[in-house]
Structure 1
Amino acid sequence: MSTPPAGVDDLTPQWLSAALDTRVDTVDATRIGTGQMGSCFRLHLDGPEIGGRVPATVLAKLPAEDPASRAMVAGTYRGEVRFYAEVAPTLDIRVPGCHHATEVDDEGRFALLLEDVAGGRVGDQLAGCTPAEAIAAAENLAGLHGPRWCDPTLAEIDGYAVSGPDDAALMGEFLPPAVDTFLHPETGIGALVSDEDAATLREASSLLPGFLLARPERFAVTHGDYRLDNLLFLPDGTSVALDWQTVNLGLPARDLAFLVTTGLPIEDRRACERDVVAAYHARLTSYGVAQGLEECWDDYRFAVLTGLLVEVFGCAFGARTDRGDRMFATMLARTCAAIRDLDTLALAQG
């Protein structure tokens, strides 16, 4: 992999010509997105060969501009670069094509040049999705899990590992104050959380460190944040998965349960979740995975607890915004309803 640029101003025609192995005469960069974990730009390219193998627009993902912020999350940058450069080609999930990936240097600088997927609509975590969209995203997710299901060589990839006792101990230390912060009406979103959901969260929180270690006999590459805001829905009814900074190894059903229980409005989820899980399972078994549908359903019920981890830690330690507060409150309400509907706490305790 090549040496990364210092910033967007270094994405010159000369640098891009070398990176894309085609002549680039001019480039115009337009910032897109909010850039909480990094920066993203749409690059408009021009040159005699542009429009063929290399399209006229590509997306450039760069790190945060602040050096301290870059250093703090350099590990997540390495995980995303490694996914696109090394892991994605071995899987069957639809993701943006990677035109070029640099190394991540000691200062946390990197560059990813990715496909600018045309015609896609980003999902909306607040609004939720339709059952058809949930099925499309679940079927695409099976293409992440199935091809390397329980593949022991995944542990040989630098940075990839299933959670261990140290991870569970660390969670046990940080989770109680995080829950208190999350539910506080001033420091968190307690004012937006019902008493019933707060009680469900507190009851479930004691089970979460053990949940992190459970069912290690089934693992695959997991996205870690497979939700609507990280998905594109295309006009042909398929989906594309974005933002691979939280990728690791784990129980595959965690991604599935997080998608379904936080993305579908509660009544829609109750009506169609069996169909979504069945669609995921059907594609999963097409890769030769020998998991029965009822075992898949059992993993799904168990894995609903995943939502609590993302919601609590994401809100308690992330940057606060009005939309973010409403999003986490909506996600928590959907997660807690699913926990109660599916009797997840009894399953986890057993």
Structure 2
Amino acid sequence: MNKNTFYLSPDWLGGVLGRPVGSVEAEQIGTGQIGTCFRLRMDDGDTVLVKLPPANAGEREMMAGAYRAEVRFYQQVASTVAVRTPYCHHAEIDETGDFVIVMEDLAPAVPGEQIAGCTPEEARAAVVNLAGLHGPRWCDPTLTEVDSLSLNGPEEIELLLEMYGPTTELFLDGLGDLVSPEDAATLRACVPAIGPWLLARQERFGLVHGDYRLDNLLFSPTGEVAAVDWQTLSLALPARDLAYVIATSLSVEDRRTHERDLVAAYHQALVGYGVTDYPAELCWEDYAFALLQVPLVATFGCAYSTNRTERGDRMFAAMVARGCTAIRDLDALGLASAQ
């Protein structure tokens, strides 16, 4: 029996859940780009989700750091914050990158739709939930005790800086006419700014999801939001998540109309978690400054995707179009150059 089959067996699952499990039906869900996810239906009708690595050992080794970040989130971080995320029954990883995560099945909640975008009401639920990640451990120095978390310095970002310019060109070449000339110019203008931007404002740090966008958010019929996919968890300026989700989720018109109110709702939620030394106007300025998170994540995510699809290209194009417009609207590059 291979490991993946073992993790889907009634005996192993029963041991994790602490109760007898007579039989299990496994249904693969999602596209499995950097792992494989199964919905397990037990004989009593209950369901859980099991997340496993790909079968290819080389892929596991390449993504081991991302897998470790997610496992550590569920092992050491999730219980200390207030962000809504699936309850984790079990999470473990070995030195090869082989891992297993057993988590709550939040169906009938469904992922957001990145290309279509969301409503201002859904965006508000998302940013209030996000404050539950950032607020409880705002500027907490003990976060560095988690072995997958650290504040990046010049040495840690050196490789990223070497790759960012070529990656931007790969992205533009790959998407072609899906990116407007104006947005292409904005993406290229971000390249020389990204180094100082990455190192700026580290006096305000916290847990950053890193890819907090609609495809990684589950929306329930009652309006609740839960965040999934924690492979990109890091320590950085918290507003990076805030700027990323607002700028990539709303139409340009809705973002221009509602972004002040959304940032204010996020800030109010932070205050509720005890973040009382962070003025609302500074939060707004951090939001505008942090908009460079959109091109940074989108260009790398698209250029080095192992499973390029037409839908994926259109998704990244939509994210970049919205994000670049926000960067121009709020002069995020001017803020970055002023650091």
TM over 0.5: yes
What's the offset of the Cα at 1:190?
Answer: 2.4
* Structure 1 residue corresponding to 2:80, chosen from 80, 87, 90: 90
Q: Deviations over 1:130-166 (max 9, x none)?
A: 0000000000000000000000100111110122101
In the alignment, does 2:315 pair up with 1:327?
A: yes
Q: In structure 2, how many angstroms separate the alpha carbons of the residues matched to 1:314 and 1:12? A: 34
Q: Give the structure 2 partner of residue 284 of structure 1.
A: 270
The equivalent position to 2:142 in structure 1, one of 153, 165, 174, is 153
Q: Check conservation: 2:247, 2:323, Cα contact below 8 A.
A: yes
Q: Quote the RMSD (CA, aligned, Å).
A: 1.2
Q: Give the whole-Å Cα distance in 2 for the aligned partners of 1:61 and 1:137.
A: 24
1:304 positional shift: 0.3
Aligned to 2:245: 259
The answer to whether residue 126 in structure 2 is matched with residue 140 in structure 1 is no
Q: 1:311 aligns with which of 284, 298, 301?
A: 298
Contact 1:145 1:284 in 2 (8 A): yes
Q: State yes or no: 1:173 paired with 2:170.
A: no
**Deviations 1:15-38 (CA, angstroms, capped at 9, x unpaired):** 112111111111111101110010
Q: Distance in 2 between matches of 1:12 and 1:311?
A: 37
Of the three residues 37, 40, 44, the one matched with 2:37 is 40
Aligned partner of 2:63 in structure 1 is 73
Identify the residue that residue 199 of structure 1 maps to in structure 2.
Answer: 185
Kept after mapping to 2: 8 A contact 1:257/1:304? yes
The letter for the 2-side match of 1:238 is E
Q: Which has the higher helix share?
A: 2
| Aligned 8 A contact 2:38 2:51 in 1 | yes
SS of 2:49 mapped into structure 1: strand
Q: 1:209 aligns with which of 195, 203, 214?
A: 195
Q: Percent identity?
A: 56
Task: Tell me the alpha carbon deviations over residues 214-250 of structure 1, each in whole angstroms, 9 at most, x when there is no partner.
Answer: 1000011110100000001112212000101111111
Q: Match of 2:284?
A: 297
Q: Give the 3-state SS of the residue equivalent to 2:93 in structure 1.
A: coil
Deviation by residue 1:36-56 (Cα, 9 ceiling, x = unmatched): 01000000112xxx57xxxx1
Q: Is the partner of 1:114 in helix, strand or coil? A: strand
Counterpart CA distance in 2 for 1:81 and 1:22 is 23
Aligned to 2:210: 224
The superposition leaves residues 79-110 of structure 1 with CA deviations (integer Å, 9 ceiling, x where unpaired) of 11110121000000000001112x21233221
Q: Give 2:118's aligned amino acid.
A: C
Counterpart for residue 123 of structure 1: 112
- Secondary structure of the structure 1 residue equivalent to 2:210: coil
TM-score, normalised by the number of residues in structure 1: 0.93
Unmatched tracts of structure 1, length 5 or more: none
CA contact (8 A) 2:8 2:40 kept: no
